[in-house]
Structure 1
Amino acid sequence: MIKDDKRIRLFIGHYGSGKSEVSINYVTTLRKQVEGEVALADLDVVNVYFRTREKKDLMKELGITPIDSSIETTTLDVPAVSAEIMRPLHDKSVNYVIDVGGDNVGGRVVGRFAKQFEQDDYDMFYVVNANREKTQTAKEVLGYIDAIEASSKLKVTGLVNNTHMLRETTVEDILKGQEVAREVSKIRNIPIKYVCCLESLVDKLPTDLEGDILPIKLYLREDWM
């Protein structure tokens, strides 16, 4: 279960993998399972679209501490990271979720303070979208894992199958991603931790899938998108 993961949870992946959507769904579920402070940090200073910081007000309403840019503005996006990101790293009473920027470029932001992470205190989840260009095979996914581990100076501890086509996602899409994730898991001995799917598909999935089901709401996609 989510509450049993390491206290600090980082979500990484290829651009367009849906890691920000996964992060926000994960943290809202986590909030329901644990006591005390829960914080969500947006460390994506690479891609200005579909950011968890866009739902800052919602996070506050749900009792989640949002952490993002050090510059408070709604009309400007700059690669500035707040010093507040450090506090939950050292305050062991905080359950901390970190949405990292895409690819090895985004991983460099984490690499700047990788020494602050204790090995037994974090999980780094790689989000797999097998419908995304350049991550449709295990070999391609492994290449991105290697690059992100090198730049972040941290190790991937779990896989998240988030293979989707937004609202057009089918069970077949999810099973396709599961095969890719399973092959990566076998090669690297990294467990599949979660299988993401739209809430409407949960009851249609096989019951023997490796990994816990994480139902997804499209928080970052407006109805018209």
Structure 2
Amino acid sequence: MVSNDKRIRIITGHYGSGKSEFSVNYVVQLRKETEDKVAIADLDVVNVYFRSRERKEELRAMGIHPIDSSIDAPSLDVPAVSGEVTAPMHDSSYQYVIDLGGDKVGAKVIARFKESLPENGYDFFFVVNANRERTQTAEEVIEYIDEIEAASGLKITGLINNTHMLKATTVEDVLKGQEVAKKVSEMRNIPIKYISCLEEVAEQLPEGLDGQILPIHLYMRADWMM
């Protein structure tokens, strides 16, 4: 159950990892599991495409409070962050998800709010897509994690295997990513928290894999996009 994670969940990952897609699916599942207030903040000021803020009306309709840039321009790359971001950090009645920019520049955004994070009260999840450059091997993933941790001042607490090829994703893709994530887990003592993939692929995965399987719906891509 995603509701068993720390109250504040920060989600990061390399460009193209599917970080924002996972973040939206995660917060939708969280809404189903808890009676608490639920909020998601889009702190990705680096990637102009596929931001969770672009689905804020859908999220509101589900009973999820979206927080985005202080500038109302969802299709623009604006380095501005609303002060509202800190409110759910201090309000324990909220379950909170933060969609963070996926490189060391984007990670610096959360460093600005580090003092507002409760000690031992957050999870920092790294999304692994072993089909993307710079995260195809355990060594590459660890190098990337090191950059994110140095820039943010926070430690990664969990891994998410989201290895995909969009709608062409196969079981073999997911299992390849699982092997990479498992090596990272063993080398850095970071648990694999989730395996994220399309529902039709999730149904074919073997039993006994590390991590909770979280089937996803493609909220962030139009049906015509492959």
Q: Is TM more than 0.5 here?
A: yes
Tell me which amino acid in the other structure corresponds to 2:113.
F
More displaced 10-residue stretch of structure 1: 172-181 or 10-19: 10-19
Corresponding residue for residue 85 of structure 1: 85
- Going from structure 1 to structure 2, the CA distance change for 1:75 and 1:135 (only over 3 Å counts) comes to closer
| Contact 2:124/2:155 (<8 A) preserved | yes
TM-score (structure 1 length as normaliser): 0.98
Corresponding residue for residue 194 of structure 1: 194
Tell me which amino acid in the other structure corresponds to 2:105.
V
Q: Does 1:145 align with 2:122?
A: no
Q: Does 1:117 align with 2:103?
A: no
Corresponding residue for residue 102 of structure 1: 102
Calculate the aligned-residue CA RMSD, in Å. 0.9
Corresponding residue for residue 161 of structure 1: 161
Looking at structure 2, the residues matched to 190 and 37 of structure 1 have their Cα atoms a distance apart, in angstroms, of: 29
Looking at structure 2, the residues matched to 169 and 83 of structure 1 have their Cα atoms a distance apart, in angstroms, of: 38
Looking at structure 1, the residues matched to 78 and 98 of structure 2 have their Cα atoms a distance apart, in angstroms, of: 18
Looking at structure 1, the residues matched to 155 and 183 of structure 2 have their Cα atoms a distance apart, in angstroms, of: 18
Looking at structure 2, the residues matched to 74 and 201 of structure 1 have their Cα atoms a distance apart, in angstroms, of: 31
Q: How many residues align?
A: 225
Q: Does 1:204 align with 2:204?
A: yes
More displaced 10-residue stretch of structure 1: 109-118 or 126-135: 109-118
Looking at structure 2, the residues matched to 176 and 135 of structure 1 have their Cα atoms a distance apart, in angstroms, of: 12
Displacement of 1:34: 0.4
| Contact 2:48/2:76 (<8 A) preserved | no
Looking at structure 1, the residues matched to 189 and 32 of structure 2 have their Cα atoms a distance apart, in angstroms, of: 30
Displacement of 1:47: 0.8
Corresponding residue for residue 14 of structure 1: 14
- Going from structure 1 to structure 2, the CA distance change for 1:74 and 1:176 (only over 3 Å counts) comes to closer
Corresponding residue for residue 214 of structure 1: 214
Corresponding residue for residue 38 of structure 1: 38
Displacement of 1:218: 0.7
Looking at structure 2, the residues matched to 75 and 187 of structure 1 have their Cα atoms a distance apart, in angstroms, of: 39
Displacement of 1:202: 1.7
Corresponding residue for residue 174 of structure 1: 174
Deviations along 1:121-147, whole A, 9 cap, x unmatched?
A: 100000000000111000000001011
TM-score (structure 2 length as normaliser): 0.97
- Contiguous gaps of at least 5 residues in structure 2: none
Deviations along 1:190-216, whole A, 9 cap, x unmatched?
A: 000000110111220011100000101
Looking at structure 2, the residues matched to 88 and 162 of structure 1 have their Cα atoms a distance apart, in angstroms, of: 27
SS for the counterpart of 1:86 is: helix
Corresponding residue for residue 49 of structure 2: 49
- Going from structure 1 to structure 2, the CA distance change for 1:183 and 1:37 (only over 3 Å counts) comes to same
Looking at structure 2, the residues matched to 195 and 74 of structure 1 have their Cα atoms a distance apart, in angstroms, of: 29
Corresponding residue for residue 223 of structure 1: 223
Looking at structure 2, the residues matched to 58 and 78 of structure 1 have their Cα atoms a distance apart, in angstroms, of: 22
Displacement of 1:74: 5.0
- Going from structure 1 to structure 2, the CA distance change for 1:74 and 1:53 (only over 3 Å counts) comes to closer
Deviations along 1:63-108, whole A, 9 cap, x unmatched?
A: 0000001012356441111110010010011000000001111100
4+ long deviations beyond 3 Å: 73-77
- Going from structure 1 to structure 2, the CA distance change for 1:44 and 1:110 (only over 3 Å counts) comes to same
Displacement of 1:113: 1.6
Tell me which amino acid in the other structure corresponds to 2:163.
T
Displacement of 1:222: 0.2
- Contiguous gaps of at least 5 residues in structure 1: none
Displacement of 1:16: 1.0
